[in-house]
Amino acid sequence: MSSNTLQALVHQLRHEAVGIVSIELRPLAPATGFAQAVEAGAHIDLHLAEGLVRSYSLVNPGESHRYVVAVTLDRASRGGSRHVHERLRVGQTIAIGAPRNHFALQEAAPRSVLLAGGIGITPIYAMAQRLVALGRPAHLIYCAASREGAAFVSEIGALAAASQGLLTVDWHFRSERGVRPALDQLLAAQPADAHFYCCGPQSMLDDYERACAARDPAQVHLERFGAGPRSPDQTPGEGYCVELRRSGKAVHVAPGVALLDALIDAGLNPDYSCREGVCGACEVKVISGDVEHRDLILTKQEQAANRSMMICVSGCRSGTLVLDC
CA distance 259 to 56: 25
Q: CA 178, 181, 185, 186 torsion: positive or negative?
A: positive
Pairing relation of β-strands 320-323 and 283-288? antiparallel
CA distance 305 to 196: 22
CA distance 288 to 324: 9
Phi/psi class of residue 215: alpha, beta or left (left: φ > 0; alpha: ψ in -120 to 50)? beta
Q: Which amino acid is at 141?
A: I
Radius of gyration of the chain (CA): 20
**Contact in structure between 253 and 239 (CB atoms under 8 Å):** yes
**Contact in structure between 112 and 127 (CB atoms under 8 Å):** yes
Give the 3-state secondary structure of residue 209.
helix
The full set of domains in the chain, from first to last, is: 5-97 (2.40.30.10), 112-224 (3.40.50.80), 240-323 (3.10.20.30)
CA distance 209 to 206: 5
In 3-state terms, the chain is what percent helix, strand and coil (to 5)? 20, 30, 45
Which of 19, 13, 63 has its CA nearest to residue 37? 63
Label residues 139-166 b or e (16+ Cβ within 10 Å = b).
bbbbbbeeeebbbbbeebeebbeebeeb
| Residue 4: partners with Cβ closer than 8 Å, 6 or more residues away | 97, 98, 271
φ, ψ (nearest 5 deg) of residue 95: -85, 140
**Contact in structure between 138 and 132 (CB atoms under 8 Å):** yes
Q: What is the pLDDT of residue 129?
A: 98
pLDDT along the chain (325 residues), means of 10: 78 98 95 94 93 92 98 84 95 96 96 97 98 98 96 98 97 90 91 96 93 95 72 73 92 92 91 84 93 88 91 90 93
Q: What is the pLDDT of residue 17?
A: 97
Which of 223, 232, 176 has its CA nearest to residue 199? 223
Say what the pTM is. Answer: 0.85
Q: What is the pLDDT of residue 240?
A: 93
